[in-house]
Structure 1
């Protein structure tokens, strides 16, 4: 009989003294047996939990393993308000993770979408406005760049002054510098004064790249130098697809031209004909415009030459070489015959040059000035801004204008972001984010290198070079060092010439000229491959730069739900960790893989490895090309989005494997969230990853993003990645072939 389960009972007819002694003895025996039993069960439970942990790689749960810190309560709240537990995760993980959020959130009237990025950007934009309007800290009052950033904001926010100034400044530039706008002048416009070359140079002086771009970029064959890049520019409606059929967008575009001309002119006799001719001219150009997918597929068709040979190589009636020389002279940069030029979309440039040669001066002058005015309408008094706003509402599906304070804050942050960031990081950035992010980057990079080592489709030579490239990725976190320094020299030099007054339109025109000159001057500047890039820290985004082999995580994105210093690590790895993995993987997607560890576009993989990569890439392209955005009944362009899809699929795996490794080293460290205790840490990793991509968009905005965006809609960023990942199936016990589990999984990395 097992010890501890049977003892003699107390009887009334027994001798009292012996009985008392016997009872005491039996109680002691019972206590001992229970103690042994408790210890045995504790050991047994620990062993069983350890076995289960070994199976699932989960930390062993312990007593009081619920996190009740303010952050954990907040995180639990936003996740509980997002997930829909009536949906089976293995059937549709996006609906499971976002179903409740989708029901309870609405798209703001002044935006085309509502998602995590909108929330974070709105928060950041409000912080920027506060920075630009609140009293300055004493140690920043003397910084000229900050003073001028605040002046620029004040001039933008002073609507009374903008109304008082009217449109005379803009119209004066059109008449005296750009040759007039025929649509406003009717039959009195004198076409004998038309000079296309002069017009294009003057427009470029105001930072307008119309019909074609002419910019300074890092030389893709020599990342230690710059070269001149020439290619197609954007259309008024951005993409060719808009011009293929008459639609609400094309009608709104023509209405925009018509209404702006009517608002500026006393002579409406030719407006209707001029609007038609402007649109028809652009429609002809659009026929030859390369889509984003075509540009990505035909990268290798770029032609490399020199300024001296440019006219012979491109062979058009328009003198591109002379135009480019004149552009650079705007910044006092004299071009030499041996200066390198990269030409993309050559067929487009030749076709458009022919179209231009066949057009009347009136049509050309009308079109180029229209494109200039299309962008200036937003800088003019309210009645003209309202015309632009009506067009934007059709394209984005909005029903209201953004607050003027936000519009002005965004404008200043766009053009003087480093001055804004000097104040932002002091007030809003937690330095803990840098140290923790560095640790995560190290872990995730190691996970990617392990994946490289275990890949079966790369040969040894290509694999070794890929690992070398991964090890040499340069990381930038938060902000550039000079912003955290008391030495303000670099900040002041960055904004030399940014001297503003109370006139908003004057300040806008000054900014345009400065930006154009800055780009042209780069051609003769040295390249610091370790320097922070052009994007300011006050942005909710992250970047991979092929020419630098550099990943950048600005301060603006290092906040919840992507990152918080007090968050359980499964949330951080599922948030910013997946972003880190995404950016690392960009170095090895269909574009990034063409650049070596030093940022040079060369053939550094063997042909066999490239061929096997392309086969795997095709699986991703085909998978995403099958997704249909039911909201607008439109198929996703798998070719156009392939780079981002490859990065998403690689990034989530690297972050997950890195988290697993962290969890094995830090057992018991991650506690569960209140109300979500039934979910394992690994399940919470995926839930937070998916919640980041919960999104609602207007139909117009959704169509615009599909036509012009490199990223898949949020739901497919969730469904595509999780359906390809075996670990997701294991964590949620999904059967292959269920709605959220592909039988034939696509794997590049």
Structure 2
């Protein structure tokens, strides 16, 4: 379920909110940067001036198009009636005397009873929504054979993937609009009364200062390397003689602990294991510390790249080339002469070491049982799992100075992967000290390279070309808009929402949520596989969900907003590297301070400028940032059928996440406990297995891979339930308010058919083959194609709307239903 894209990962597995829609493909490096978008050929300021000059013409053109659509509709209706008449009476209408003997013949056609006229909506919102759908459709495709092609074929044909992207779709289009809007706002010279808003603009400008980056080159990273004790692979020097974990002496443990703690505290880089602070899953009134398994350089879920040499040798070779190129740049800047052959030898040993780490990492599809991953331990017990770390020293080093007394040997932590830590201890004890240090320093360098000059961006792009298919770098401004959105998410969100979000949209979204909840409750009541008591608990949980819509209210108040960032100070003279270090330290302190406070279930902990949606099981909360509440997914001017088909399905998706294979493990208060009757749980597991099998049989086009049904089951359950709930909610709306007029240009389609078109339109798009492979390996979301046909093939309502023959591809005899 992947979030807004972080620039530096702090507590990478923090479960604050699970993002529910495919984010941009990972850029495979530990900094987590994402794919950005292609810039226009003219400067934005020029476009703005042109738009201002032509706004009147645009309005006139829209009016002319609207009138033309109405005229065409009328003409079509007349032509159809004439054609029908000619088919029945090819030589003209019968003489009245032919049907009423005794009357003189006449040449006029008989008066016939008029068919009910189809009412068409001609409002601006209807025209806009119809245009989006019409321009996307390939109406020559059979909707019962491939509805994705029917709904999106033209969109995908007319929108080739830009060279600076690995995929492109309506979701990416919406993200690009938000970035463009943020860019204009961040480039403004306006001085805000809010300190944090000014810092957001400062962060953007620092990132854009490429002249300063070119002057500094890699000097700040080289200083960091020295402060961390040196990098043997770069300098050619020996590692510290007492940094030998094979001997298990206390000095070696001390140096390793110091290296890992400093890497985490100052550069946000977790090595060998990850630490984050979040709610205690079995007592969500409090926060606690989690110790999780480590990550890999190629990103979360990427272990197959390391372990399947036959299939992914190209990717691993590109990764090695990336490391070597980075080392050469650093050596040149440091004026170090290294024997190339020796460096390559050490590089190969380091990659072999990471392959061994990949072997012990638990696959993501085996990490869906949250009870298995809840293992409460004291800090003293961690020494028995990974003895090479002085755990008490580690925690007191990375925590704020005034919190060191919080940590004792009796302090409780939650360990998610017991066996991983044991295997990591064994690997460290068997590995060469030089290789361990080389790997640790590489992870720090890799995560901070993006804060250096463009030479490092160029070599990363060479890697991206192989891993995702992205052909060229994105314009720098696209990366830089993400900097304030990551480090100062609420400040960036304040800039965005104050300018681009309507309060009325928030109220409409809240009304839709209420309707979707009622629909979910009805589906629970009607199913035949849950006992009455479990049904009541499920409905109560849905009713208790916390709604975070658009933005938190405090970002509209400058004083309250600035209180969120009172311990962070960014100055215009800061370098990009310094900005990163300041932000990392501040974010880490903020994280640890939560240990002294109750868990805040109402916290809006993502940027309102994010185009995504989230569900948090520990909060039992759904979050819809302002960024996703926009066209083409939602508009207060759209007809309800379009809104319910798109954002309504998203809302239903989030509600259903509370009852997917993972969310179902938590109660209404967000606590990890079983609230299921045994028979009901068995019924749920049976239906869940159907979903796993269905999606696991989908072959991903242009690859030799199939969808991982086990990894994607939570998102697939949420997709299926979300669309069903949204359709039911729309039907209830019609019953209460009467039928809506049809869309202009699409009058031949019923509004039930338009609902499913709107849903599919949400997922229009395509991706490079390499990106498709990466998604299957690393992402818990199914490819967009299967998010459409997989869901609709399970819905009787769809087959009825499009009159799909029995056993046609989208009306199979076997259908999977969970909710």
Q: TM-score, normalised by structure 1?
A: 0.89
The answer for the alignment partner of 2:684 in structure 1 is 613
Question: How far 1:496 moved relative to its partner?
Answer: 2.5
CA distance in 2, matches of 1:329, 1:555: 33
Question: How far 1:169 moved relative to its partner?
Answer: 1.6
Question: How far 1:523 moved relative to its partner?
Answer: 1.3
CA distance in 2, matches of 1:283, 1:340: 32
1:335 counterpart = 2:407? yes
CA-to-aligned-CA distance 1:643-700 (integer Å, 9 cap, x gap): 00000000000000000000111214x2222211100001000001001111211111
CA distance in 1, matches of 2:810, 2:128: 29
Q: Given the alignment, which residue of 729, 738, 744 partners 2:799?
A: 729
The answer for the alignment partner of 1:142 in structure 2 is 193
Q: Given the alignment, which residue of 286, 292, 303 partners 1:225?
A: 286
CA-to-aligned-CA distance 1:687-745 (integer Å, 9 cap, x gap): 01001111211111111111110100000000111000111111111123101112111
Three-state SS of the structure 2 residue aligned to 1:565 is: coil
Q: Given the alignment, which residue of 698, 721, 729 partners 1:650?
A: 721
CA distance in 2, matches of 1:258, 1:330: 38
Relative to structure 1, the CA distance from residue 299 to residue 316 in structure 2 (aligned partners, 3 Å threshold; closer, same or farther) is farther
Question: How far 1:371 moved relative to its partner?
Answer: 0.5
The answer for the alignment partner of 1:538 in structure 2 is 609
1:710 counterpart = 2:761? no
Q: Given the alignment, which residue of 513, 523, 537 partners 1:451?
A: 523
Three-state SS of the structure 1 residue aligned to 2:360 is: coil
Relative to structure 1, the CA distance from residue 551 to residue 392 in structure 2 (aligned partners, 3 Å threshold; closer, same or farther) is same
1:72 counterpart = 2:126? yes
**Conserved in 2, the CA contact under 8 Å of 1:143 and 1:492?**
no
Relative to structure 1, the CA distance from residue 180 to residue 109 in structure 2 (aligned partners, 3 Å threshold; closer, same or farther) is same
Q: Given the alignment, which residue of 67, 84, 87 partners 2:138?
A: 84
Q: TM-score, normalised by structure 2?
A: 0.82
**Conserved in 1, the CA contact under 8 Å of 2:136 and 2:152?**
yes
CA-to-aligned-CA distance 1:391-432 (integer Å, 9 cap, x gap): 122222111111111111112212112111112111111112
CA-to-aligned-CA distance 1:160-183 (integer Å, 9 cap, x gap): 11111222222112102x111111
**Conserved in 1, the CA contact under 8 Å of 2:392 and 2:407?**
no
Question: How far 1:217 moved relative to its partner?
Answer: 1.2
Q: Given the alignment, which residue of 128, 142, 159 partners 2:182?
A: 128
User: Which moved further from structure 2: 636-645 or 65-74?
Assistant: 65-74
CA distance in 1, matches of 2:625, 2:543: 21
**Conserved in 2, the CA contact under 8 Å of 1:131 and 1:420?**
no
Q: Given the alignment, which residue of 248, 256, 260 partners 2:314?
A: 248
Relative to structure 1, the CA distance from residue 326 to residue 480 in structure 2 (aligned partners, 3 Å threshold; closer, same or farther) is same
User: Which moved further from structure 2: 65-74 or 106-115?
Assistant: 65-74
Question: Rg larger in 1 or in 2?
Answer: 1
Question: How far 1:384 moved relative to its partner?
Answer: 2.2
CA-to-aligned-CA distance 1:528-558 (integer Å, 9 cap, x gap): 32232x2110000001111111111100000
The answer for the alignment partner of 1:421 in structure 2 is 493
The answer for the alignment partner of 1:694 in structure 2 is 764
Q: Given the alignment, which residue of 265, 269, 291 partners 2:363?
A: 291
1:196 counterpart = 2:256? yes
Matches within 5 A, 1:97-112: 97-112=151-166
Q: Given the alignment, which residue of 635, 652, 656 partners 1:585?
A: 656
1:236 counterpart = 2:309? no
**Conserved in 2, the CA contact under 8 Å of 1:418 and 1:491?**
no
CA distance in 2, matches of 1:459, 1:321: 48
Structure 2 gap segments, 5+ residues each = 1-95, 244-251
Q: Given the alignment, which residue of 578, 581, 584 partners 1:506?
A: 578
1:464 counterpart = 2:527? no
User: Which moved further from structure 2: 320-329 or 76-85?
Assistant: 320-329
The answer for the alignment partner of 1:258 in structure 2 is 324
The answer for the alignment partner of 1:58 in structure 2 is none
Question: How far 1:85 moved relative to its partner?
Answer: 1.4
Matches within 5 A, 1:626-645: 626-645=697-716
Q: Given the alignment, which residue of 155, 168, 171 partners 2:206?
A: 155
Three-state SS of the structure 2 residue aligned to 1:616 is: helix
User: Which moved further from structure 2: 692-701 or 263-272?
Assistant: 263-272
Matches within 5 A, 1:180-579: 180-187=230-237, 190-192=240-242, 195-205=255-265, 206-238=267-299, 239-246=302-309, 247-265=313-331, 266-269=336-339, 270-297=342-369, 300-312=372-384, 314=385, 316-328=387-399, 332-333=403-404, 334-484=406-556, 486-502=557-573, 503-532=575-604, 534-579=605-650
CA-to-aligned-CA distance 1:7-35 (integer Å, 9 cap, x gap): 99799xxxxxxxxxxxxxxxxxxxxxx9x
Three-state SS of the structure 1 residue aligned to 2:372 is: helix
Three-state SS of the structure 2 residue aligned to 1:122 is: helix
Relative to structure 1, the CA distance from residue 361 to residue 500 in structure 2 (aligned partners, 3 Å threshold; closer, same or farther) is farther
CA distance in 1, matches of 2:369, 2:192: 51
Question: How far 1:249 moved relative to its partner?
Answer: 1.1
Question: How far 1:6 moved relative to its partner?
Answer: 6.6
Three-state SS of the structure 1 residue aligned to 2:376 is: strand
Question: How far 1:573 moved relative to its partner?
Answer: 0.2
Relative to structure 1, the CA distance from residue 495 to residue 681 in structure 2 (aligned partners, 3 Å threshold; closer, same or farther) is farther
CA distance in 1, matches of 2:448, 2:415: 29
**Conserved in 2, the CA contact under 8 Å of 1:539 and 1:554?**
yes
CA distance in 1, matches of 2:232, 2:510: 58
The answer for the alignment partner of 2:671 in structure 1 is 600
CA distance in 1, matches of 2:463, 2:780: 23
The answer for the alignment partner of 2:749 in structure 1 is 679
Question: How far 1:340 moved relative to its partner?
Answer: 2.6
CA distance in 1, matches of 2:432, 2:628: 50
The answer for the alignment partner of 1:57 in structure 2 is none
Q: How many pairs are equivalent?
A: 694
Structure 1 gap segments, 5+ residues each = 12-33, 47-61
Three-state SS of the structure 2 residue aligned to 1:332 is: helix
CA distance in 1, matches of 2:558, 2:499: 18
User: Which moved further from structure 2: 83-92 or 297-306?
Assistant: 297-306
**Conserved in 1, the CA contact under 8 Å of 2:695 and 2:708?**
yes
RMSD over aligned Cα atoms: 2.2
Relative to structure 1, the CA distance from residue 382 to residue 331 in structure 2 (aligned partners, 3 Å threshold; closer, same or farther) is farther
Three-state SS of the structure 2 residue aligned to 1:567 is: coil
**Conserved in 2, the CA contact under 8 Å of 1:227 and 1:339?**
no
**Conserved in 1, the CA contact under 8 Å of 2:239 and 2:433?**
no
CA-to-aligned-CA distance 1:118-140 (integer Å, 9 cap, x gap): 1011111111111111133xxx6
Question: How far 1:389 moved relative to its partner?
Answer: 2.1
**Conserved in 1, the CA contact under 8 Å of 2:567 and 2:586?**
no
1:659 counterpart = 2:730? yes
**Conserved in 1, the CA contact under 8 Å of 2:613 and 2:625?**
yes
**Conserved in 1, the CA contact under 8 Å of 2:374 and 2:416?**
yes
Question: How far 1:635 moved relative to its partner?
Answer: 0.3
CA distance in 1, matches of 2:798, 2:127: 26
**Conserved in 2, the CA contact under 8 Å of 1:318 and 1:353?**
no
**Conserved in 1, the CA contact under 8 Å of 2:285 and 2:598?**
yes
CA distance in 2, matches of 1:701, 1:10: 76
Three-state SS of the structure 2 residue aligned to 1:629 is: coil
